[in-house]
Amino acid sequence: MTVCAIVLAAGAGVRFGGPKGLARDADGRPWVATAVRTLREAGCDPVIVVAGADADAVGALVPAGAVVVTAPDWADGLSASVRAGLSAAADTAAQSALIMPVDVPDLPASACLRVMAGAGPASLRRARYRGEPGHPVLIGRDHWRAVSAELTGDRGAGAYLRERGADDVECADLWHGHDVDRPVRRA
């Protein structure tokens, strides 16, 4: 089964102090490049990166071979990024899309693989960490249009997943599940 990946890297990162799509780890490696590498290690193809704020600068950090799309209405919030990513995914042969925000640079490929296991076009799955929902999220192709139609503002697909009984995949044994909300200090 073919799974594409969507990296959400479009926001302005107001609380973070700038776009998280431009963030780097303590060694200077761009988070967006780390996300693409992780998703490729998990076997996702293609990997789609959704840019918005400072789209050209974010796009310049994306490794070759990944697809960069711009969410023209990125300032409307997370929903615009997810819609742009699913729209780009619709042009692929993928049967499911694995979605992650760029601000989880420590997410291991093993968590992606666990969420992807047994997925198909009708699947809805999300990682959980000690009972709390997290990333990545897998949305089967059969849901892409409906998810896109229901999203508004600065919300992702969480409500859609809850209402439709998404499969929860415990991943706490693989990773802590936390996003990064403060800039990383370089050594």
Considering the entire predicted model, what is its pTM? 0.95
Contact (Cβ atoms closer than 8 angstroms) between residue 74 and residue 154: no
pLDDT, tens digit, 9 for 90 and up, residues 61-70: 999 999 999 9
Please report which residue ranges of the chain form alpha helices under DSSP H: 31-41, 55-61, 78-89, 109-116, 141-150, 158-163
Contact (Cβ atoms closer than 8 angstroms) between residue 85 and residue 48: yes
Q: What count of other Cβ atoms lies within 10 Å of the Cβ of residue 145?
A: 12
pLDDT, tens digit, 9 for 90 and up, residues 134-155: 999 999 999 999 999 999 999 9
pLDDT at 17: 84
Grouping H, G, I as helix, E, B as strand and the rest as coil, residue 70 is strand
Contact (Cβ atoms closer than 8 angstroms) between residue 36 and residue 63: yes
* Entry field: residues in the chain: 187
Candidates 162, 172, 169, 99; CA nearest to 129 is 172
CA dist 89 and 70 (Å) reads: 13
Contact (Cβ atoms closer than 8 angstroms) between residue 100 and residue 39: yes
pLDDT surpasses 60 at 187: no
pLDDT at 60: 98
